[in-house]
Amino acid sequence: MLHIRIETIGEFRVFVDHEFPKSITAVFGPSGSGKSTMLRAITGMEPSRGFIRFDGNEWLNSDSNVFIRPHQRPIGYVRQNAQLFPHLTVQDNLAYPIKYSKRQGENITFDGVVEDFELSSLLSRRTNQVSGGETQRIILARMLLSQPKLLLLDEPLTGLDLQRKAEILPFLESLQTKYHIPTLYVSHAVDEVTALCPHTIVLAAGKVQATGQTPEVLERRDLAELLGGSEPSSIISAKVVGHDSRYHLTKLEVEDRIWSVPMHLPLTLGETTTLRIRARDVSLAKVEPEAISVRNILRGEIVAIDDSESGPSVNCFIQTGQTRIQAQITRASLDELSLRIDDTVFALVKSVTLG
Amino acid sequence: MNPEDLAAIWVTSQLALVTTLLLFVIGTPLAWWLATTKRWYKPPLEALTALPLVLPPTVLGFYLLLLLSPNSAIGGFFFELTGVRLTFSFTGLVLASVIYSLPFMVQPLQVAFERVQEQCLEDAYALGVRKITAVFTAVFPQCRRGFLTAAVLTFAHTVGEFGVVLMIGGNIPGETRVISIAIYEHVETISYADAHLLAIALLIFSFLVLLAVFTINRQLPLRAY
């Protein structure tokens, strides 16, 4: 899909050699790590050396002097703090790429995008008559109407409060579910990443620190600091199988087990969602506990123990079926229970966050 | 008002209009270049463009006179080519005015372009729009205020010229005698009533023009349609 090996030429050096999968990849890292610079280099707006290949096309090859100009690369790029053109109405902003871009595309139409992004009531407004969340929706819609084959989104939810974010997230999800355009998504919020991105690349100081499946990358304790101080946690996907209105619980199916989590009504039956379980919310028991208030208890084997950090705690990785859960326990408990790899344990999950 | 003064008003209006139009064509690309370049010779060129702001008009007029006279290389070449003298002629006045009023066109435009240009262009590229299209459809429309200010200042400043015109154009009725020179002539010949008439007209005109600019700039919102 997208394969880059680039080194930026500007004052801030960013070196990235990576092949991105054909889905949505989170670009993660502390501020100043080179996330935005990497995106700009892919657009061609940041001068760089090396090569960029996308779907068999070469956009950059400094050895053979290939440089495709930014407007000729089929990229939908939303920069940080992106803005609408203030001299145009919402409608004219949306029509701008249709009118003035020569890019070709078949399945993305003005009417379709206006409907998907629920913009029909805003079309005649001026850009100073729409809210921040609406502006963000219009920017995403306008980007789609430029017929992109690759999306580069630089913190598209920054500056919005929690409620606005929750309003935009479904639209961001629809970029994948409906339009199937591969995406690089710069973010520093773990929740956004777990909800949207199956893959993650972590940058720091202009270099790639880690890549892989998002759950595995987020589990890594050595990256915890880079991931914005986020705690080690496990990401698992689950299917919604029911709501229990009496106890205000939502029932989720993980493999063949049913989990109960606090009721979350936006989820519809049959929908697949992600659960994030912080390692410190998981306790371990050697025998199956009885008469206990914790509702989600899983039986599994210890497959790894990470005691690389010198603090009071260690992280145990428990495999149960296809699912792997991380538990943070004290070093004292580890020794007292004499837990070892391959031991069968019961993981007690005290709380989860829905993706 | 006597016919000679009316002719002076006519010459002045023509001069200001032609100068503004020419400078619009010359000044826009120059201002764009100054707003976007990062080359080392940008500051010297900026200084050169701004020179007419600080030089006494007589200095400018003196050098233009030397440069444009039919005995000089440039003026002589132009005379050979077209049969038109560049000194003591309307054509020469236009040329001098273009140089003299250059900063009044370039500086407001440069400021406007610098404010809008970079992010606006990148947003347009990201939507698949090439540079020249983006400049005309996204950058320039957002610089309307700058264009208006530049055009009006250039026009008004040309109307108010005196020194350069006197040096290079002289005082030929119907050809190079502009309002400011007509006033000077009336004062020299102690016909104060005629001087008053022209002077008050120029005063009111200038005030109204500036009033119009400030009013329109207030009402023309920056973020607007």
Q: Do A102 and B125 touch (CB under 8 A)?
A: no
Out of A185-194, A225-234, A316-325, B56-65, give the one with best mean pLDDT.
B56-65
Q: Among the listed ranges A162-166, A330-334, B60-64, B205-209, which one has the minimum average pLDDT value?
A: A162-166
**What is the average pLDDT value for chain A, to the nearest integer?**
87
Residue B179: which of B2, B19, B7, B9 has the closest Cα?
B9
Dump pLDDT digits (tens) for A253-304: 887 788 888 877 667 788 777 788 888 889 999 888 888 888 888 889 998 8
In the prediction, which pLDDT does A257 show? 83
Calculate the CA dihedral of residues A166, A171, A174, A175 and round it to 10 degrees: -120
Query: Can you tell me the mean pLDDT for B104-115?
Result: 94
Is the confidence at residue B88, as pLDDT, over 60?
yes
Taking CB atoms and an 8 Å cut-off, how many pairs form between chains A and B? 83
Is the confidence at residue A245, as pLDDT, over 90?
no
How many whole angstroms separate alpha carbon B200 and alpha carbon A69? 57
B29-88 residues touching A, CB cutoff 8 A: none
Residue A91 near chain B (CB below 8 Å)? no
Shortest Cα distance, chain B CAs vs residue A44, angstroms:
10
Is the confidence at residue A53, as pLDDT, over 80?
yes
Query: Can you tell me the mean pLDDT for A230-253?
Result: 82
Dump pLDDT digits (tens) for B147-201: 998 999 999 999 988 989 999 988 888 888 999 999 999 999 999 999 999 999 9
Contacts of B223 in chain A (CB under 8 A): 86-87, 126-128
Dump pLDDT digits (tens) for A108-155: 899 999 999 999 999 999 999 998 889 999 999 999 999 999 999 998
Model confidence band, residue A51 (pLDDT cutoffs 50, 70, 90): very high
Percent of chain A clearing pLDDT 70 (strictly above): 97
Residue B126 near chain A (CB below 8 Å)? yes
Shortest Cα distance, chain A CAs vs residue B222, angstroms:
8
Model confidence band, residue A229 (pLDDT cutoffs 50, 70, 90): low
In the prediction, which pLDDT does B223 show? 42
| Complex ipTM value | 0.81
Q: Do B141 and A74 touch (CB under 8 A)?
A: no
In the prediction, which pLDDT does B220 show? 62
Shortest Cα distance, chain B CAs vs residue A88, angstroms:
6
